[in-house]
Amino acid sequence: METRHVLIVGYEAAELLDIACVVGALESANFRSGMPHYRVRLATPGARLIDCGPSVKLQAGERLERVTGPIDTLVVSGGAGSEDAAADRLVVAHVRRLARESRRVASVCTGAAILAAAGLLDGRRVTTHWRWADDLAALYPRVRVDPDPIFIRDGNVYTSAGVTSALDLTLALIEEDHGTELARTVARQLVTYLQRPGNQAQMSMFTAAPPPANALVGRVIDHITGDLGGDLGVGTLAAAAGVSERHLTRLFLRYLGQTPGRFVRQARVEAAAQLLATTSLPMATVAARCGFGTAETLRQAFVGQYGVPPSHYRLTQSSAVARGTAPG
């Protein structure tokens, strides 16, 4: 079994979560599978500590200057220090050098600026944190910046939006490497609601509003997103929550502004979008996994939410892995 070597590049004032989301997800993939799928290393200039704020300093294990390939995945983190790092010719030169020795290259949040400074994003469609997207586009006019998706793959280069989108990106990389089942297992282990498709807007159903203040509603949401292929009728959900259908509907309307049925439908369509973009599973299989009885039912729901049929979505959004053998 091949162990994939992942190198994370940090620097002064790199964002702790940008690094931790990647490391945590990959280490969880190793633990949950019982296999050493990934060897993760953190490198900084001179192997210096990363000052992540007044409370935390992160120790790097490697000197950026001494790291050599081959590398499976090079990940450049973002953070408050990314502007200075992008202006540091030595950092940029080493990132450019290591990218040539890597199978794929990724950035988290404002780490995209460092990849852009290295010339690795020229002519590519990329994303970054929505707050800094205009700045990136202005500084690097040869880069096509799209501020909406949570992550984008263009060839062997992956860019992601702010902070916790690093988790979505890393889950997608795990799925690309080892299949849907392991990626979902890791997502459940990390207690993330849903493995979001890359083209999902940065302001999605799970981020556009705060979590529900009602604990019962929160538990029902966890149940829904943890078993999208199961029986999620309002009667079943109400019985699991120990309340009447009418009361559950009132709670969803009060705290989420929509009925349980509408929430279930939206979550299932988002899950279907993820499978369509990252696998070549037949439409009927995607429909079944996401709780739609038939491919036609999936098509109707998909058009209602995204405005395009799932076949068109797959054609325009799928990654290279979706055009090959279906994982899992």
User: What amino acid positions are annotated as catalytic residues?
Assistant: 109
Helix, strand, coil shares of the chain, percent, nearest 5, are 50, 15, 35
Contact 228, 291 (CB under 8 A): yes
In whole angstroms, give the CA distance from residue 193 to residue 114. 30
Helices (H) and strands (E) in the chain, counts: 14, 11
138 burial type by CB count under 10 A (0-12 exposed, 13-18 middle, 19+ buried): exposed
Choose among 102, 113, 116, 84: nearest CA to 41. 102
Q: How far apart, in Å, are the Cα atoms of 151 and each of 125, 191, 239, 297? A: 10, 20, 37, 28
Contacts (Cβ under 8 Å, ≥6 apart) of 171: 25, 183, 186, 187, 192, 195
Q: Which parts of the chain are beta strand (E)?
A: 4-9, 38-44, 50-51, 57-58, 62-63, 71-76, 102-108, 125-126, 144-145, 151-154, 157-160
Contact 64, 96 (CB under 8 A): no
Q: Identify residue 214 by its one-letter amino acid code.
A: N
